[in-house]
Chain A
Amino acid sequence: MTSLATPVSIQGDRPRRLWRNRLFTLAMLLCMLVAFGTLAVLLVDTLITGWPAISSQLLTGLPSTVPAEAGARPAILATLYLGLVVLLFSVPIGVMTAIYLEEYANRERWWNRAIEVNIQNLAAVPAIVYGILGLAFIVRGIGVGRVVLAGGLILTLVVLPTVVVSSREAIRSVPDSIRQGAFALGATKWQVVWRQVLPASIPGIATGSILALSRAVGETAPLIMVGAITYVAFNPTLFGPYTALPVQIYNWTKQPDTDFQTLAAAGAIVLLVIVLSMNAVAIFLRNRYRKQW
């Protein structure tokens, strides 16, 4: 041990420390590089490969066995319809469930705790299992058939837990003092929820819902299971057969002909535009309405 009589330079172990820290920082930056670099490569590669096939033909035309003439209009339309169905069902059901759990349910009761645990579990179920659920009920159960509505309902179930979780968070972030003040004036529970809690949590609910929607639109596995058919050469309707954009991309990817690969990349560009713009809107909403209580 160095005696304290001899002054030890306060530089201490600095050189070795410096190197260790530098190496570590380098390692971390490498992690970032791999993650973001892969993203960049993916986006650039898809863009470069698919760009030649982007045309009004792609966006407005019907599919064809000839790559040069193939279009994705039915698929794009079906994707939009599916998104609409998901929006119409998942938001009301999800928000209502969240309101029930946050404002009405007595946590001491076992059935309310069961509902909570249940939703957490559903969030972790793989999307394809929802597809199996759809398959069993479409083919044997209710027998709605391989139609857009069925696909939309299955996708709704896939994203419902996400909507519930994010809505709960938005509702929970409303300060309790607001509720107390409203109750103290003689408002009923629903009046407090409808007139104070919900309006204050709309930005959070909207952000969560849009993110859930963007995920639903990109889902492929459940749709494959419930019968989004390979070749649809007409505009889809709510109760008719259909194929969706992700499924179309999958089908084109499977074809050995490289022209179809180009088409697949082009389809991917369209899908990415749809999904990423929804994400951008959600992020914008989240930042704009960051409330200071």
Chain B
Amino acid sequence: MTRIVVVGAGPAGIAAACRAAESGAMVTLLDGEPYPGGGIWRHSIDYSVPRPVRNSKEAKNMREKTKISNGARKAKRWFNRLDKVGVSLRTSETVVDITGRSVQVQREQGGLDSIAFDKLILATGAHELFLPFPGWTLPNVMGVGGTQALLKAGMPVNPASPRGGVKRLRVVVGGSGPLLFAVAASLAKAGAKIVCVAEQTSGMQLAKFALGTLRYQPAKMVQGMGYMLQYFPAPYWPNTWIKEARGDSQVREVILTNGKRQWIEPADLVACAYGLVPSVELAALAGCKLSVARPAWPCFHGLEARDTIGNRLVVDHLQRTFKETADYTDYAEKIKNKKLKSVKSAKSMVNNRIFAAGEITGIGGTDLAITEGEIAGLTAAGKEKSAAKLIARRERQQKFARLLNQSFALKPHLKQLPADDTIVCRCEDVTFGELKNQADQRSAKLYTRCGMGPCQGRVCSSALQYLLDWEPNKVRPPLFPTKIGAFISNTESLKRKAKK
């Protein structure tokens, strides 16, 4: 039986795990969070979609009396499917290394475990792009998805709610992307006061986005309008961004600007992020090809702008990753010129054991992630023909992804956000002034310790890739801080096994 390990239990990972297990593979699904769902289907303490859990009795209890939001119906279907197929779900377990044909995971309590695989599906998703601006290190300045995550986990925003809290928080939501609507709506629903939503992209781009959404995904338009109603009457300002946050022991006010004038708004909480960056660290460690190039397969012809900030994973039509040494540009060119025969001859360029699906292959949203996950899961389990049937659906969804990335492309003004004394590396407190004259990420690391803290550059290196065009440093294991004791106890267990 094929042993398949899926890393990341978001939409792509869950779809991959389900499809692979239904095709007869033995599947292990890993996630570092306490609950599966990833960022978008994250567990909420308020309404609980039935979560797949390790024992069935617990699952039954959790299913009782659940209130389900409209957007969660799709999630519910997939969670139920995951419960049924008998996937080994391991949450609170973070992959820290990959060696040959096994991944090393760190459990919540700190111990290390080794899990062997025949096929590996990477569905590690994305994290937010945080751009440093003066005052962004103040307490209560957080990401947009970050705010959503904390809210779902129980963060109080209104003393009148059962969660308590000190005061009704006034929130400024800023940055870029459709997530701003959703999070402003969630915050308003939880009882916060939305001061304004500041979107950096222009009104013209937004109008194009709205028209395109109507064309490709009309249901999403309805969803978006619903969100706006929820935080009504707070204003939504296009072409506006947060220039500075001010406060003392926490943020108190923000300075907003539209490039021409600036003004002050009060804020007890600031939710600000500029879209998503693929989380490719594990893939890089596994020797998969990364690229900033646009996806070649199959429908991105003529796209001028870089579609995603940060490096993404390149994959073939069946979601197989490429070897690090592969000449991807040549491959992409052949695909573009529809020399489809060369796709077959490209087999020596792909990793037959390592697949990728979802946001790590380029930011594209939930529906695309699910389809990619399904294709990866089926192919990994040996059902290439069934997988190929889904390619047309993926092409349609990629059109929406392209629209999304073009509409929310970042303005060049944002490169001027950090001042010389603005901290860029939050772990080691390194300022922009110390960094801007360095040659690259590596010299910055050697001379200033930028990126050497526990986040391992996940926050600052994406920002610096945007601000100064620096390539991120090479990824080294362990991927996340790991206790030295965990390594020691792991080798001991290996030794014990060897003796037996």
* Mutual binders A and B: no
